[in-house]
Amino acid sequence: MGSLDFVYKNDSYLYENSLIDEEGLGQAITSHELRLHYQPRFPLRSGCSQILEALVRWDHPSQGLLLPDEFIPLAEETGLIHDLGLWVVNQACRDFRLFKSETDSDISRISINMSILQCEDTHTAQRVIDLIQRNGLSPSDFEFELTESAAIRDESAVLRCCKALQEAGAEISLDDFGTGQASMLHLSRLPVHAIKIDRAFISRVDTHSRDRTMVRHLIHLCHDMGIKVVAEGVELRSQAQMLMGLGCDALQGFYLCRPVEAKAAMSWRQRSERLAVA
Residue 218 binding result from ligand C2E, Ca ion, none, given CB thresholds of 5 to 8 Å by partner type: none
- The 3-state DSSP class for residue 7 equals strand
Within 201-230, the residues that bind ligand C2E by CB under 6 A are none
The pair phi, psi for residue 27, each rounded to 5°, is: -65, -40
Classify 161 in phi/psi space as left (phi over 0), alpha (psi -120 to 50) or beta: alpha
Residue 22 binding result from ligand C2E, Ca ion, none, given CB thresholds of 5 to 8 Å by partner type: none
Of 171, 175, 211, 249, which lies in the binding site for Ca ion, with binding defined by CB under 5 A? 175
- The answer to whether residue 166 forms part of the interface with Ca ion (CB under 5 A) is no
- The answer to whether residue 115 forms part of the interface with Ca ion (CB under 5 A) is no
Residue type, 242: M
- The answer to whether residue 113 forms part of the interface with Ca ion (CB under 5 A) is yes
- The 3-state DSSP class for residue 237 equals helix
Taking only Cα atoms into account, the Rg of the chain, rounded to an integer number of angstroms, comes to 19
Within 144-163, the residues that bind Ca ion by CB under 5 A are 145
Beta carbon nearer to Ca ion, 146 or 240: 146
Within 162-181, the residues that bind ligand C2E by CB under 6 A are 175-176
Of 40, 233, 242, 243, which lies in the binding site for ligand C2E, with binding defined by CB under 6 A? 233
> In Å, what is the CA distance from 104 to each residue of 169, 220, 277?
24, 34, 23
Closest C-alpha among 109, 110, 184 to residue 148: 184
Closest C-alpha among 32, 36, 33, 28 to residue 259: 36
Please state, in angstroms and rounded to a whole number, the distance separating the CA atoms of residues 130 and 139: 9
Contact code string over 100-119 relative to ligand C2E, x by CB under 6 A: -------------xxx----
Q: Who contacts 32 (Cβ-Cβ below 8 Å, separation ≥6)?
A: none
Q: Which stretch binds Ca ion (CB under 5 A): 16-24, 31-39, 106-114, 200-208?
A: 106-114
CB under 8 A, 24+ apart: contacts of 14-21: 15/74, 19/60, 19/62, 19/63, 20/60, 20/63, 20/66, 20/70, 20/71, 20/74, 21/74
- The answer to whether residue 88 forms part of the interface with ligand C2E (CB under 6 A) is yes
- The answer to whether residue 171 forms part of the interface with Ca ion (CB under 5 A) is no
Beta carbon nearer to ligand C2E, 68 or 247: 68
Instruction: Tell me which H or E stretch contains 102.
Output: none
Residue 83 binding result from ligand C2E, Ca ion, none, given CB thresholds of 5 to 8 Å by partner type: none
- The answer to whether residue 120 forms part of the interface with Ca ion (CB under 5 A) is no
Contact code string over 125-164 relative to ligand C2E, x by CB under 6 A: --------------------x-x-----------------
- The answer to whether residue 55 forms part of the interface with ligand C2E (CB under 6 A) is yes
- The answer to whether residue 72 forms part of the interface with ligand C2E (CB under 6 A) is yes
Residues forming the site for Ca ion (CB under 5 A):
113, 145, 175-176, 232
Residues forming the site for ligand C2E (CB under 6 A):
39, 55-56, 67-69, 72, 88, 113-115, 145, 147, 175-176, 199, 233-235, 253-254, 259
